[in-house]
Chains A and B, each alone.
Chain A
Amino acid sequence: SVLTQPPSVSGAPGQRVTISCTGNSSNLGAGYDVHWYQHLPGTAPKLLIYGNDKWPSAVPNRFSGSKSGTSASLAITGLQAEDEGDYYCQSYDNSLGVSRIFGGGTKLTVL
Chain B
Amino acid sequence: QEQLQQWGAGLLKPSETLSLTCAVHGGSLKDYYWSWIRQTPDKGLEWIGEINHSGSTKNNPSLKSRVTMSVDTSKNHVSLRLTAVTAADTAVYFCARVLTYDYEWGSYIRTTFFFDLWGQGTPVTVAS
Please determine whether chains A and B interact with each other in the same assembly. Answer: yes
Question: Are A44 and B121 in contact, CB atoms less than 8 angstroms apart?
Answer: yes
Q: Which of B17-44 contact A (CB under 8 A)?
A: 35, 39, 43-44
Give bound CA distance, A51 to B111, whole Å.
11
Known: A44-B118, A45-B94, A97-B60. A102 touches B46 (CB 8 A): yes
Q: Count how many chain A residues have C-beta atoms less than 8 Å from C-beta atoms of the other chain.
A: 29
Knowing A1-B43, A44-B121, A104-B44, the reply to whether A31 touches B115 (Cβ < 8 A) is: no
CB nearest neighbor in B for A49: B114
Q: Is A32 an interface residue (CB 8 A)?
A: yes
B115/A90 in contact, CB under 8 A:
yes
Interface residues of A in 53-111 (CB under 8 A from B): 56, 88, 90-92, 97-105
Q: Are B115 and A98 in contact (CB under 8 A)?
A: no
B62 in the interface, Cβ–Cβ < 8 Å? yes
Q: B2 on the interface (CB 8 Å rule)?
A: no
Nearest chain A residue, comparing its CB with the CB of B104:
A31
A-contacting residues, B89-128, CB 8 Å: 94, 96, 99, 101, 103, 105-106, 108, 110-121
Interface of B is mostly: strand
Q: How far is the CA of A1 from the CA of B111 in the complex (A)?
A: 21
Once the chains bind, are B118 and A56 in contact (CB under 8 Å)? no
A: residues with CB less than 8 A from B are 1, 30-33, 35, 37, 39, 43-47, 50-51, 56, 88, 90-92, 97-105
In contact, A92 and B113 (Cβ under 8 angstroms): yes
Query: Does B47 contact A100, Cβ atoms closer than 8 Å?
Result: yes
- Which of chain B's residues have a CB closer than 8 A to the CB of A45? 45, 94, 96, 115, 118
* A97 and B112 contacting across the interface, CB-CB below 8 Å: no
Known contacts A31-B108, A45-B94; A100/B116 CB under 8 A: no
Q: Are B62 and A98 in contact (CB under 8 A)?
A: yes
Partner of A37, one of B106, B108, B115: B115
Contact B94 A44 (CB under 8 A): yes
Question: Nearest chain-B residue to A103 (Cβ)?
Answer: B44
Alpha-carbon distance between A88 and B60 when the two chains are bound, in angstroms: 19
**Nearest Cβ on chain A to B24's Cβ, whole angstroms:** 14
A43 to B35, CA, bound (A): 18
